[in-house]
Structure 1
Amino acid sequence: MRSANPAPVAPYPDAPVSGRPPLAVLPAVGTAVPPDSYTQHEVLERFGITDARIRGLFLNGGIERRNLSLPPPNGQGPSESQGELLAKHTRVGLATGRAAVLDCLSRAGLEPADIRYLCCVSSTGFLTPGLSALLLRDLGLRTDVGRLDVVGMGCNAGLNGLNATTAWAAANPGQLAVMVCIETCSAAYAFDATMRTAVVNSLFGDGAASIAVVAGEERSAGPAVLRFTSLMIPSAIEAMRYDWSDEAGRFSFYLDPHVPYVVGAHVEQAVDALLVPAGLRRADIAHWTIHSGGRKVIDSVRINLGLSRHDVRHTRSVLRDHGNLSSGSFLFSLRRLSDEGLVSPGDHGVLMTMGPGSTIELALVRW
C-alpha cells in the first residue's frame, strides 16, 4: 500500500553529474518537406477565407509560408473525409520520412543497411502496421532492425522518441539508431469556420526530420547527449488535445489560447531541473534549440528564460519558413544550427520541446 504521507521527492533525483561520459552522439540531422509551399495569403485565397478574425490569425503569427499537402480548391475550405486524410498521412508521411532518413544518412556518410534501430514519431495519423514497418520495407532495411512507433504524443514527442532511441544506442554501443519525426499536419486538419480549427489550420505545416544516434564511438561531428528531463503540468492536461467529433465525422486538434502562458510559467523550473545537476547555469548554454510552437509560445519561453532574439533565431526562422512542424520542429532548428557552422567544441546546448500533457521535454548536449 502507498504511504499516506510519502517521503518528499528530491528536486533532481538520480541525476548524472557533470563529467560523466555522454549517453550517445548525434552525428547528423536530415530534413524533408513536401514539394508544394504556400504563403499564408495563398492559403487564404485558395479556400476563399474572408473572415477578418481568421485572416488575422493567418497573417500575424510570424509565419510567411508552409509546405502543405492540400486538396484542390473548392471555395469552401478543405473537405477531405477522415479516410482521405489518413491516406494522405500514409502517402505523404512515407515520402517525406524516407527522404529525411536518406538525407540524414548521407550527411553522416552512412547507408540504410547500417541502421539497427528505427524509431518513428508521429501524431498526424494512426496506422497498423506503423510507419516504422512501412519505412523498413520502403528503405530496404534489414528485417531484424529494432523498431518503435511513438504515436499521438504531440509536439513534445520528438524528445520522448530521442530519449528512447538514445537509451537503445547506449545499450548497443557502436550500432546505429535512427529516429524520424514524420508529421503530415495537413492530414489532421478540419475545416468548420470556427476559431478553434482556424488556429490549428493557420499554424501547422508538413515535414519530416531524422537524426542519427550512436554510442561508444568517437565521432568528430554532432553533439553528445548528456541527459534528459521532463516536466508534466497535469493541471493543463486539457490545454492541447485531439478530439473526435461525431457531427463532423473526424478528429480535430484543440489549442487552448493560454498554452503560451502555461509553458512560460513552468519553463524555468524545467530548465533548472536539467542544468542544476550538471553544475550549469542558463548563461553557460551557448545554443538553444526550441520547438517552433508559435510566435506567442516562443516569446513566452524567451522572456521567462531571459534569452535574446539571437538565441531563438533558428526557432523563429523555422516557424517563418515552415510553420509548426509538430514533433520534428526542433530538429529543423538543430539542422540550421549545424549548417550555420558557428558551434565550437565544448559548447553546451539545450534541446526543448513542448506539447500535450501539458509537457516540457529537454535534453542537454555538448559539442
Structure 2
Amino acid sequence: MTARIVSIGTALPDTRVTQSTLRDLFAAQPGFDRKAQRLVGAAFDAAAIDTRHVVLPQLAGTAVDGLPVRDGDTLLMPPTGARNDEYRRTAPGLFAAASRAAIEGSGYSTDAVTHVVTVSCTGMFAPGPDYHLVRDLGLSPTVERYHLGFIGCAAAIPALRLAARIVGNDPAAVVLVACTELCSLHWQTSSHPDQIVAASVFADGAGAAVVASGDPSREGLDLDGFATHVTDDGEKDMAWTVGDSGFEMTLTPEVPRIIGREISAIAADVLGDLADVDAWAVHPGGRSILDRVESALGLDAEALAPSREVLRRHGNMSSATLLFILRDLLADPALKDGDSVAAMAFGPGLTVEAATLTARRASA
C-alpha cells in the first residue's frame, strides 16, 4: 500500500525580523573587530534571506520578560538550561499549531490519528513534544508515539520514511508527522566564522504532515521511495553539540563544497534518471548549498525556485524547512497528477537523505 502525504500544515512564531536588523545586531557585539564585522556583513548579505521568524521578540528590539538574551545592543549568553526552558515553554504551541493545520486540511478527524512522529534538534524534555501533541490536540491516549531527535536539517525525510513504513504495514494507519525547530534559542555571540555563518541563516518554524494510505478522492504526494547516503568526509564540518551556553552548531565552508563534489553521484544513485524529475524540493541549508546542487546536477534556474523562496522568506528552519517547500509544491497548480518530485536534505555526518514522490490530484 502506497503511503501518501494528504496534507501539510505550517506555523511560525509571531516575531518576524528582517535580515538586515539581525545583521546589524550581530555585527555590533563587543569584541568584534573590523575583520569580524566585515565577515558578518558578508555572510548575512550573501544568505539570500529577507526575513526570519523567531520566538525571541528581544532579537527584534521588543522588550519582554523571558529568556535574557539581550542587554541593549549586547547579546547575552544564557546557560543551556535557561535556553532549554524557553524551548519547553514555546515549542509545544508551534507543534500543535502546525499539526492542527495539517489535520484540518487532511479530511481526517483528530480521532483518526493512530501514530505521532515528532522531530526536533533544538531542545529536549520529557514527557516530550509527542506527548504534548496527544494532550493539546485531544488525540486518543492509545496513539503510538515516536520522537526523532538531533538528526538536524535532514530529519523530515526519515520521519516521512517512518510514517510511510507504518502505513505500508497497516493501511488503516493515519500518521501525524510534526517538526519544530527553535534555532534562535542557540545563537552564539562568537566571532568564529562557523558561528557567524550559523547565525546568518538559522530561524524558527514548524511543519506537519498527515500521512495515510492513498485514496483517489484525496490529493497529495505519494511517498514512493527513500534513500540515505553518508559521504566520505564531512563528519566534522556539520555538527551539533550541547555546550554550556546552548547548542553549538558547526557549519564550515567545506559543507557546500562537499555537497557540490558528491551530489551528482549520490543523486543518480538514490534518485535514478534526473531527467524524469518534474519538481525539486531541496533543503536550503544556505544559498551556497543550493547553488552547488543546481550547478552539479545541471538544473535550470527555476528548478530550485521553491527552495530559494522558502529560504528568502523564512531562512533555514532546520528539519521543518522541507515541509514548507513540499507544502508550496502541493499548492502549486503547475504540479500535475503523476509528476515526479525529488526531495533531498543534508544533515550531520555529512548525511544526504532523499525521497521520491509522485503528485496525485483528485480524480473527477
By the TM > 0.5 criterion, same fold?
A: yes
Residue 116 (str. 1) matches residue 75 (str. 2): no
Percent identity between the two aligned chains? 27
Taking the TM superposition and a 5 Å limit, the aligned residue runs for 1:13-92 are 23-46=2-25, 48-49=28-29, 51-70=37-56, 71=58, 72=63, 73-74=70-71, 75-92=73-90
Cα RMSD for the two superposed structures: 1.7
Contact 1:173 1:217 in 2 (8 A): no
Unmatched tracts of structure 2, length 5 or more? 64-69, 360-364
1:169 and 1:158 mapped to 2: Cα distance? 17
Judging changes above 3 Å, is the alpha-carbon distance between structure 1 residues 23 and 270 closer, same or farther for their aligned structure 2 residues? Answer: farther
1:282 and 1:216 mapped to 2: Cα distance? 25
1:220 and 1:85 mapped to 2: Cα distance? 41
Deviation of the 1:56 alpha carbon: 1.9
Partner of 1:362: 354
Unmatched tracts of structure 1, length 5 or more? 1-21
| 1:296-338 deviation per Cα after TM superposition (whole angstroms, max 9, x unaligned) | 0001111111111211011000110110111111110111112
| 1:80-112 deviation per Cα after TM superposition (whole angstroms, max 9, x unaligned) | 321221122222211111110011111112222
Taking the TM superposition and a 5 Å limit, the aligned residue runs for 1:1-367 are 23-46=2-25, 48-49=28-29, 51-70=37-56, 71=58, 72=63, 73-74=70-71, 75-215=73-213, 217-245=215-243, 249-276=245-272, 281-367=273-359
Deviation of the 1:45 alpha carbon: 3.8
Please give the secondary structure, in 2, of the residue aligned with 1:103.
helix
Contact 1:231 1:361 in 2 (8 A): yes
1:208 and 1:23 mapped to 2: Cα distance? 26
| 1:125-172 deviation per Cα after TM superposition (whole angstroms, max 9, x unaligned) | 122222111221121211110111000011111101111111111111
| 1:30-54 deviation per Cα after TM superposition (whole angstroms, max 9, x unaligned) | 1111010000111234453572221
Amino acid across the alignment from 2:54: L
Please give the secondary structure, in 2, of the residue aligned with 1:337.
helix
Please give the secondary structure, in 2, of the residue aligned with 1:235.
coil
Partner of 1:13: none
Amino acid across the alignment from 1:264: G
Farther-moved stretch of structure 1 (41-50 vs 153-162): 41-50
TM-score (norm 2): 0.89
Please give the secondary structure, in 1, of the residue aligned with 2:236.
coil
Please give the secondary structure, in 2, of the residue aligned with 1:27.
strand
2:222 and 2:190 mapped to 1: Cα distance? 45
Please give the secondary structure, in 1, of the residue aligned with 2:177.
strand
Amino acid across the alignment from 1:136: V
Contact 1:63 1:319 in 2 (8 A): yes
Deviation of the 1:234 alpha carbon: 4.3
TM-score (norm 1): 0.88
Deviation of the 1:189 alpha carbon: 2.1
| 1:50-70 deviation per Cα after TM superposition (whole angstroms, max 9, x unaligned) | 722212211221111100122
Please give the secondary structure, in 2, of the residue aligned with 1:214.
strand
Aligned residues: 340
Partner of 1:19: none
